[in-house]
Chain A
Amino acid sequence: MTGATATTGLGSYILFSVSGTTYALPTAEVRHMEMIEDITRVPNAPSFVDGVVFSRGQVVPVVNLRARFGFDRVPHDLRTRLIVVQAESRVVGLLVDAAREFVSIPADAVQPPHEALAGMSGRYVEGVASIGDRLILILNLQRILNFADPLPADPAA
């Protein structure tokens, strides 16, 4: 399942926030969103994986995006959401602080990520868009899900 191509027309995205920053993923990659209850820990899983949950009958891994991007984890609250995404045959849940709205982003509003955007989430960002006065970081799902990607030494390990 490919996301909206950045080169043509208008792309439809869903916005969510992680540690104060707004990110986006193409809606084509998002299956649904839900509130999370309890997550079952999986021993020996990568440190940014909180565990697994059942989502619509399927066992789905929970990737904590805060952890993935190098931020500290925080307790869940009423706004915490699990965004269930699909990348080829994989179904994975992304745990975010809050899910916001759907937007359409015109292709010409998307710029490649600035060098200065390095830092943890930088490696997962494939484009930057400005909507009004908001800065939106468009994510590359594959890189987020590819756990062969070296992580910083995780202090929790």
Chain B
Amino acid sequence: MAKILIVDDSATIRKMVRASLRPLEDAEFVEAGNGLEAIEQIALGPVALIILDLNMPDMHGVDVLKFVRRHHGCRDVPVIVLTTRGDEASRETAMTAGATQYLTKPFVPHVLLSSARDLLPAVARRDA
């Protein structure tokens, strides 16, 4: 089972991400509403993919990303960051900090799904 961590402060968006990724087989989803919760999830077990919103209160997504990249066995975990349309600066920072891929919000569900599939080789190989 691949654990996919969805991090966004909006419950609506977390739901939408989850729905977009539902076709992924053998995937289980955990959600976090802020950076601390996201890191807590990582602490509790290995994660196969992180969908990470950047603009969050209390702890910016970039800081979560930095923590994940510098300090834990999650160094190589693929991370798709969700950035705001037009916020070039955050996108730059995120990519520099180690994001695997970025998508701008509002995201198109099937694009998110394909990106996720591509980044989860083990899972993707199971279908088609």
> Do A and B touch, yes or no (CB under 8 Å, in the complex)?
no
Footprint of B on A, CB under 8 Å?
none
B-to-A contact residues, CB < 8 Å = none
